[in-house]
Amino acid sequence: MDRKLASEFPQELLNLFDLYVHGDIDRRAFLDGAQKFAVGGVTATMLYESLAPNYAWAQQVPKDDKRISVENISVDSPLGHGSIKGHFAKPAGKLPAVLVIHENRGLNPYIEDVARRVATENFIAFAPDGLTSAGGYPGNDEAGGKLFQGVDKQKMAEDFIAAARWLKARPDCNGKVGVVGFCFGGGMSNTLAVRMGADLSAAAPYYGGQAPAADVPKIKAPLLLHYASLDTRINGNWPAYEEALKANKANYTMHMYEGTNHGFHNDTTPRYDKAAAELSWKRTMDFFNKYLRG
């Protein structure tokens, strides 16, 4: 299937799909709502399939890339679900580390590839699977989304914190760890900034839910925040978050990518925006180079 662009779909349909992706409506409700856009021989099911991820598009760094070593590992998480599995990638040497946190579907091939992309930028990278306690990412996003809804979110947060602390303590880490996350992972990146305080050296959330204003004083890490201008669901809470960040003299930079949808970095769906994805990624790597290598 050829990749379509977000501009080829009505924004109302993209917003409807966003509600489906985030569990606000089920697949049947999406198909019912999409019916009004099913014209000219195109069915609602065809619209769904054209908006769903195609992981053949995601691979930028193959698992056998000679620049890095790759393995799937498990990390102890005594305060969470006991352990959390994930995709680990690193080049040779003693280096800073980056935790890569997935969307609300679990550790799918897109996020595994993002971890390998981070590793090719000369960082140790680990992408944990928040669905470990439910058997792991099941192989498709629809099933992953259903499993995700049933996982204890407090324990899942502890799993990600355990993974970050494990990275930081590795003998091949320089002692500095950052986090980048997307959608749910963006919100979890803000959570880690609160929970880890000065133990986290940098956080780069993509279109993620904001930390409560009352928790902002606990944030010590520099923040690089990426938002999509059409993502009204997430952006509505930005003004209060910014006010709290300013009040607490937090080190933060926010970029709003005009004309983009939630998920613009995810290169497996039509919501992907190549220009915004590439610019935001360069900014993120520059940010990590600045705060994790010193």
- CATH level 3 topology of 68-292: Rossmann fold (3.40.50)
Please write the tens of the pLDDT for every residue from 218-257. 999 999 999 999 999 999 999 999 999 999 999 999 999 9
Average pLDDT over every residue of 247-273: 96
Q: Which of 58-62, 163-167, 253-257 has the lowest mean pLDDT?
A: 58-62
pLDDT higher than 90, residue 129: yes
Please list, residue by residue across 1-37, b when 16 or more beta carbons sit within 10 angstroms of its beta carbon and e when fewer do.
eeeeebeebeeebbbbbbebbbeebeeeebbebbeee
Could you give the CA distance from residue 216 to residue 223 in angstroms, rounded to a whole number? 12
Contact predicate 87/127, CB 8 Å: yes
Exposed e or buried b per residue across 173-195, where buried means at least 16 C-beta atoms within 10 angstroms of its C-beta:
bbebbbbbbbbbbbbbbbbbbbb
Q: Are strands 82-90 and 95-101 parallel, antiparallel or unpaired?
A: unpaired
Task: Tell me what pLDDT residue 94 has.
Answer: 97
SS3 248: coil
**pLDDT (average), residues 160-182:** 98
pLDDT given for residue 3 in this prediction: 74
- Which residues in 77-99 are b (16+ Cβ under 10 Å) and which e? beebbeebbbbbbbbeeebbbbb
Q: pLDDT tens digits for 3-48?
A: 788 888 999 999 999 999 988 999 999 999 999 998 888 899 999 9
124-128 vs 82-90, strand pairing mode? antiparallel
Phi, psi of 7 (to 5 degrees): -65, -15
What is the mean predicted confidence (pLDDT) over 151-162?
98
Ramachandran class of 154: left when φ > 0, alpha when ψ lies in -120 to 50, beta otherwise: alpha
Sign of CA dihedral 224, 230, 234, 237: positive
pLDDT band at residue 1 under the 50/70/90 scheme: low
Q: Is the pLDDT of residue 216 over 90?
A: yes
Length of the chain: 294
Give the model's pLDDT for residue 242. 98
The pLDDT score that the predictor gives to residue 39 is 87
What are the structural domain ranges in the chain? 9-52, 68-292
* pLDDT score of 62 more than 80: yes
What is the model's pLDDT at position 4?
81
Say yes or no to pLDDT of 116 above 90.
yes
The backbone torsions φ and ψ at residue 239, rounded to the nearest 5 degrees and listed phi first, read -55, -40
Gap between the Cα atoms of 268 and 68, Å rounded: 23
Query: What's residue 23's pLDDT?
Result: 87
For residue 104, pLDDT over 70 is answered with: yes
